[in-house]
Amino acid sequence: MNNTMNNQYDDIIIKLLHYFITEQGYNPIVLHGAKEEIWLENLNGDYQIIRIASNYIHNKEQLDYDIYKTSRIMKDIQKKTFSFNINTLNILLNLGDSVNLENNLNEITSINVKNIDDLNNDQVLKEKFPSITKMMDYKEKGIELFMKLTSDINRKNEEDARKAEDVFKLKKPIVTMVLISINIMMFVLMYVFGNGSTDSLTLLKFGASHPELIRAGQYYRLITSSFLHIGLMHLFFNNYALYIIGPQLESFYGKIKFIVIYLFTAITSTLLSMLFFGGVSAGASGSIFGLLGALLYFGYHYRVYLGTVIKSQIMPLIIINLLIGFSLPGINNAAHIGGLIGGVLISIAIGVKYKSTNFEKLNGWIMSGIFTGFLIYLAFLGI
């Protein structure tokens, strides 16, 4: 946020900032080199970006250049936040009387606001922000008003910073370490009390997945198969992936939600596997793909922080592993896909801290139930 603003516009600027930040949940965006303009973002709002500009625009050519410059910055924000579409409200405070605002880009809505009275007359603000004029009526005046508004804005920014720190602060990955320990323990026990991890009868004895046995009533295999591994390399790669991804997700969602994601995706991955993989199968990869799906959903809500990571690391990792699964024999890619979809859906249901609404979570539970019911129908009745 640039601090160089025209003094004559300070009053309306601080009031607009106070309204959008404290009442509408927008956050300032730091743009180096931007002068006489302030950018705010709320990726869940009707307008994901709000720009407040006090630079003087006195003719059509200047307006066209201003909108072009705004669209370029929007595209950069879109790439960084992994957003497919960004609508911007472009609030111009210093527009010449002869400049026509009709010809604008579709994703940029420019309005002319020179004073508080203009807020009452603008149709865009009335429709999208009907409370804005009521929130501009303050008892305080002068320096007292300025101190109140800046104090409220700082308090809101501090609260947002505290929430972000709470979410992103790494906690001890106790559940992740327990899951890894169980995987290793079960691997060892298959050699102590059986013929090893590559023996089909031993795998079945310890709870590996087999469609016919599950349909016969051994439903526990929907979960227990995710704790068994076939061979040392299978164990190593899955545990290494869990060691890398698990602590992040456990920290972001919390221990209980992390367990719910892991076990739910173990079930959805095994159910979808039953449709395409007829033999003995085992492994935590379905749940690991579920964690990746949960990370995608979390990253969507916090894409201001993780947008670049999603595009450069998470998405390529998912795509590459799915392509490997389709190209190499013996890899149960159906389990991967079932886990990935299940991970996204159950994450919607349990919600992301400070971001998800009750309505979103309700829809998540409904979608998770429909998806699971559909898989159960196909696996048990639709064969």
Catalytic residues: 285, 336
Q: Which two tokens stand for residue 329?
A: 């024999």
* List of residues 6+ apart from 258 with CB closer than 8 A: 175, 176, 246, 249, 250
Q: Report DSSP state, residue 110.
A: E
- Distance from the Cα of residue 22 to its chain's centroid: 22
Distance CA 375, CA 113 (A): 55
* List of residues 6+ apart from 111 with CB closer than 8 A: 89, 90, 91, 92, 101, 122, 124, 125
Distance CA 52, CA 114 (A): 11
Which amino acid is residue 355, in one-letter code? K
Distance CA 77, CA 123 (A): 27
Task: Confirm if 262 and 179 have CB atoms less than 8 A apart.
Answer: yes
- Rounded to 5°, the CA angle 300-351-317 comes to 40
Q: Which of 322, 252, 327, 304 is nearest to 78 (CA)?
A: 304
Distance CA 99, CA 113 (A): 13
Task: Confirm if 88 and 66 have CB atoms less than 8 A apart.
Answer: no
* List of residues 6+ apart from 196 with CB closer than 8 A: 190, 202
